[in-house]
Amino acid sequence: MLLLNLIGCINQVEKTKKNSLARRNLKGKIENVEQTQYYLIDNFGKIEKGNLIVKNITKYNEQGVILEENSYLDLGMLLSHCKFKYDENGNEIEESVYNSDRILVGKNISKYDELGNEIEVNFYNVDGSLNSKNTYKYDENTNQIEGNNYNAKGILLSHRTYKYDDYGNEIEYYCYNSDGSLHDKRTSKYEFDDKGNWIRMFINKDNSNNNTEIIERIIKYYK
């Protein structure tokens, strides 16, 4: 589940129900998004893209609802394929996850508040047993600001916090272990297209002057 959007009064978020695009802070009528994440390496003082981490391709219909999502490893090898089911409000209530052989490996069941914010996800194994659960909290602008991960017995595994810029783009992320110790953190900066959607996300995980990862997005819009 890991990565990461100016039309009109972009810094004022209307508190209306969200579709798939809005939940991902995407703007405009988008047909598909190809998102590719790479490590960055220092090649004798020049920062370059290194190995591919993962590539995700997400397709949307004209109402902004996800049709399918595929993840790939290097050399175009399929990692996973996801299909979705929706409730009458257009919320993604069930995600079926398939492996590279298109065999079902699990299902994720989501719950939402009245604004369309995802507040809970239960992750199930293929045999129907609960694997883990995530819960989420949001600020007044419907940005996700907290997340908790629990095991099948309800024991807290990790706690996450997020900070955003004025346009709803994540700029800081912290992940803590169940004992409160810091497990992971990152800061992010962006480049945008003319629709206000980011097309490059630069990730820094080591507090140095150099970014450690980059995510590039190719966004295709409906005409």
Instruction: Look at residue 3 and tell me if it is in a domain.
Output: no
For 33-61, give one letter per residue: b (16+ CB within 10 A) or e: bebbbbebeeeeeeeeeeeebbbbebebe
Give pLDDT tens digits for 70-128: 999 998 999 999 999 999 988 999 999 999 999 999 999 999 999 999 999 999 999 99
- Asked if residue 80 belongs to a domain, the reply is yes
Q: Can you list the pairs that 94-98 forms with residues at least 24 positions away whose Cβ atoms lie under 8 Å?
A: none
- Answer yes or no: is 181 within a domain: yes
Summarize pLDDT for 11-52 with one digit per residue, the tens.
Answer: 333 445 688 999 999 999 999 999 999 999 999 989 999 999
Does residue 142 form part of some domain?
A: yes
Residues 6+ apart with CB under 8 A from 223: none
- pLDDT attached to residue 10: 29
Residue 2: what pLDDT?
37
DSSP strands (E only) in the chain? 30-43, 46-60, 66-72, 78-86, 92-98, 104-112, 118-125, 130-138, 144-151, 156-164, 170-177, 182-192, 198-204, 213-221
Q: Which residue intervals of the chain are DSSP H helices?
A: 20-23
Indicate the number of domains in the chain: 1
Reported as a single tens digit per residue, the pLDDT across 187-196 is 999 999 999 9
The label of the residue with tokens 């629709």 reads 195
Instruction: Tell me whether residue 89 is in a domain.
Output: yes
Domain assignment of residue 11, yes or no = no
Tell me whether residue 171 is in a domain.
yes
Does residue 8 lie in a domain region?
A: no
- Domain of 58 in residue numbering reads as 20-221
Between 2 and 158, residue with greater pLDDT: 158
Residue 43 belongs to a domain with what CATH number?
A: 2.40.160
The pLDDT assigned to 210 comes to 77
At 136-178, the pLDDT tens digits run: 999 999 999 999 999 999 999 999 999 999 999 999 999 999 9
